[in-house]
Structure 1
């Protein structure tokens, strides 16, 4: 397992976590096996937006002895009164649901409490005016909740919440289809979505990724908006390469799915290479470095993707990006202008020109 650190808190989070989703479909025995396997393989981050109520008690019983080693993402707005998932903005019902979730999870604290699934301005107003956010602040002040977060598909809503300075983590839908404006949740332009990822990293806000496979549509050529299937590993790597991302939370139905997903760490780099997206990208995305490193290896030894990322983050206001750049062994000034990266870039980025721009900006 690989881990990334949440800047606001220092938690060490597994880069692949577990999405709740449909894990209950395999039955209680299979669910227990999957949870035990996940923890045994180093997974420590669990999203608890379930499609039904039954998994909560299984999580609680299976993981109670490992609770202090794990991070739970609990949603304020998801409820299970009928035994199935429901959504509410009622503060009274939210309180009852959270109490029920904690009881079934056999825990008395929340690592990450998320304002759940806010995509519309009207719903955000209800959260802000209806007392939900104030209630979450009270829980944090009382030590019951460690971090406040938000789950959303809408860049504008996330930016509004980032403006409050209250949130430490965002659950956001990141995949090539949505980023390139395909699908119901493809909200915001390429630039808006990219700017959001950069803002999160610049401000130390982590991102946990939902819908990394576009609801499974990206994995099938017949349903992919690109007319070509991508693999799970390509989608995971794509999300992990975005600024701010700490963990990807794929859903699964049992141990078979989990073993396949965890194979990501043993997979060859070619299996994770998503540079084929360069042929799918809309015109507005051309010329934008996505840090895929398909241009590697650089004849002069530059990490072209990382140099671009630190430059973009510095431009977005990340105070630490300059230091990260200056600590690189090879900087933009080492570029010889050979054109290797220009020829290799699937997104038509003129990297040799960009290296001059970055050299001038950082002064080295």
Structure 2
């Protein structure tokens, strides 16, 4: 298992985490076995936006005695009073739900407290007016919440929270369909979504990825917006290659689903290669580097992905990125034939001069 450090913290987080939205479809014994098997495989990040109330007690039993080995992402706004998932912005209901979740999980602290599913300006206004943001900030001051996060599908909303400078992590939907404006939650154009990922990286706010398979559509040729189905491994790698992404949280129901997800940890570079999407007509090719490194190795030893990342961050005003670029061991050379150089460098976002 590979781990990535949370930018605003010391936590080393597994690149493959788990979503639990469908885990309640299994019985308690299977849920416990699935969580424990995942932890044995090195998974240490769990998202608790579950579809069913019974999932919480089962996970509490699964992590009993080893709570410190796992990071829990708990949602302020997910409500389970009916036994099934519900959404609320009412402060009193959220307070009661959080206390219930802590009790079921047999813990007294929250690693990542997420303001849940804010997709519209009206949602943001409601949680501000009801005091939800102040409530979670208060829990952080008390040490009950270690990090504050946000789950959203809307770039505009995420930017609003980034402006507040209160979040350490964003849960955002990233997959080839949404990034190229295909699907129910494909909010924002391709360049707007990439700009959001880049801003998160610049401001050192991590991203935990939801809906990496577009609710399974990308894995099914008949349902996919593309003419060819992608594999789980390709979708996971696609998300992990985006700026600021720390972990991807595919949903699993049982140990069989888990096994299919963990195949990623043994996959070859060829199995991870998703460059086939560049040939799909449904993809509006932007001519921009996405730092995937599938053009590597450069015969001259250039780190093309890193050069482009520094370039994009510098355009956003990141002075540190400029300095990092200047200290690279190898940089693009200046050539005399500008037209030829620029035609080659176009896909790299590098502008050559005489």
Aligned to 2:345: 352
- State how 1:141-290 maps to structure 2 within 5 Å: 141-280=141-280, 285-290=285-290
Structure 2 contact 180–284 (Cα < 8 Å) conserved: no
* TM-score (ref. length: structure 2): 0.93
Q: How much has 1:358 moved relative to structure 2? A: 6.2
Matches of 2:109 and 2:170, distance apart in 1: 19
Alignment RMSD (CA, Å): 2.3
For residue 277 of structure 1, report the CA deviation from its aligned partner.
Answer: 1.1
Count of residues in Structure 1 that have an aligned counterpart in Structure 2: 352
Which residue does 1:123 correspond to in 2? 123
Matched position secondary structure for 2:119: coil
Give the secondary-structure state (helix, strand or coil) at the position aligned to 2:65. helix
Structure 1 stretch 62-71 or stretch 227-236: which is displaced more?
Answer: 62-71
- Distance change (3 Å), C-alpha of 1:356 and 1:6: closer
User: How many angstroms apart in 2 are the aligned matches of 1:356 and 1:235?
Assistant: 24
- Cα contact 2:288–2:348 (8 A) shared by 1: no
Where structure 2 has 5 or more consecutive residues not aligned to the other structure, the ranges are: none
Instruction: List alignment gaps of at least 5 residues for structure 1.
Output: 343-348
1:286 Cα deviation after fit: 2.7
**1:20 Cα deviation (Å)?**
1.1
CA separation of 1:107/1:334 partners in 2, compared to 1, >3 Å: closer, same or farther? Answer: farther
CA contact (8 A) 1:154 1:187 kept: yes
State the TM-score, normalized to the length of structure 1.
0.91
| C-alpha distance in structure 2 between counterparts of 1:310 and 1:262, whole Å | 32
Q: C-alpha displacement at 1:329, in angstroms?
A: 3.5
1:177-210 residue CA offsets vs partner (Å, 9 max, x unmatched): 0010001100001111010000000001000000
Distance in structure 1 (CA, Å) of the matches to 2:102 and 2:161: 25
SS of the residue corresponding to residue 150 of structure 2 reads strand
Relative distance call for 1:69 and 1:326 in structure 2 (3 A) is: farther
1:88 is the counterpart of 2:81: no
Q: Distance in 1 between matches of 2:93 and 2:11?
A: 30
1:324–1:263 Cα change, 3 Å: farther
CA 1:234–1:134: 2 relative to 1, 3 Å = same
Deviates more, 1:65-74 or 1:322-331: 322-331
Q: Which residue of 2 aligns with 1:345?
A: none
- CA–CA distance in 2 between the matches of 1:107 and 1:226? 44
* 1:346 corresponds to: none
Residue 57 (structure 1) aligns with: 57
